[in-house]
Amino acid sequence: MFTGIIEALGTIAAIETESGDKRMTFAAPGYLHGVALGDSIAVNGVCLTATSMTDDSFSADLSVETLTATSAAGWQVGDRVNLEKALTMGKPLGGHWVSGHVDGLAILVSCLEEARSWRLQFEVPEALAPYIARKGSVTLDGISLTVNEVEGRRFGVNIIPQTWTHTTLGQRVPGDSVNLEVDLMARYLERLMTARNPA
């Protein structure tokens, strides 16, 4: 589990392809203290397992499923990525419950500067639109955000300067895809309703 509060920016240092899967190495100098082999780290919102490590980097295997369901298939060496270590007992829950299991991709439609902040509008696949509610939570590339408004398949979020400069959102332009994870409560509520009313 994660909180959606980005702790550091890393860089993709290497990508190896083998039988359709990929192994990626992420450079994160000064960030990996306390991380052990087998630990989970969210990379742009994707929960990955550290399979090898140095003091300043870790590697992870990305399956065909992960590459298909997330933006990871398009990641390139040199790309910056958002990083968050798994939640531990006693750690402040500043964002919301995030699983690191991406539901799909959202497309950045527009980006407008508003006072000292930025207002971003995203479009999501029709199947995911019902899970997004005004003043609810979403995770975009691992970042916990509050939904400002919803209209059909589109929703808007407001990005404060801290988030803009300390995550990858400041590098995004209209047309870019980001990893979307809807709120866990919405997922479980739908499952409960479906189980009670199969028809």
- Cβ neighbors of 79 (< 8 A, separation 6 or more) are 11, 12
At 27, list the tokens.
């450079």
Q: Where do the domains of the chain lie, and which CATH numbers do they carry?
A: 8-85 (2.40.30.20), 104-195 (2.40.30.20)
The Cα–Cα gap between 89 and 100 comes to 18
Task: Compute the average pLDDT of residues 61-78.
Answer: 96
The Cα–Cα gap between 54 and 52 comes to 7
Q: What is the predicted pLDDT for the residue at 89?
A: 73
Rounded to a whole number of angstroms, the CA Rg of the chain reads: 17
Q: What is the predicted pLDDT for the residue at 199?
A: 60
Q: Is the pLDDT of residue 188 over 70?
A: no
The Cα–Cα gap between 5 and 145 comes to 9
Q: How many residues does the chain have?
A: 199
pLDDT digit string, tens, across residues 143-157: 999 999 999 999 999
Handedness of CA 61, 142, 136, 150 (dihedral sign): negative
Strands 52-53 and 143-151: unpaired
pLDDT digit string, tens, across residues 117-132: 999 999 999 999 999 9
The Cα–Cα gap between 174 and 120 comes to 9
**pLDDT averaged over every residue in the chain:** 93
Q: Rounded to the nearest 5°, which phi and psi values hold at 12?
A: -70, 115
| In contact, 117 and 161? CB cutoff 8 Å | yes
How much is the pTM? 0.91
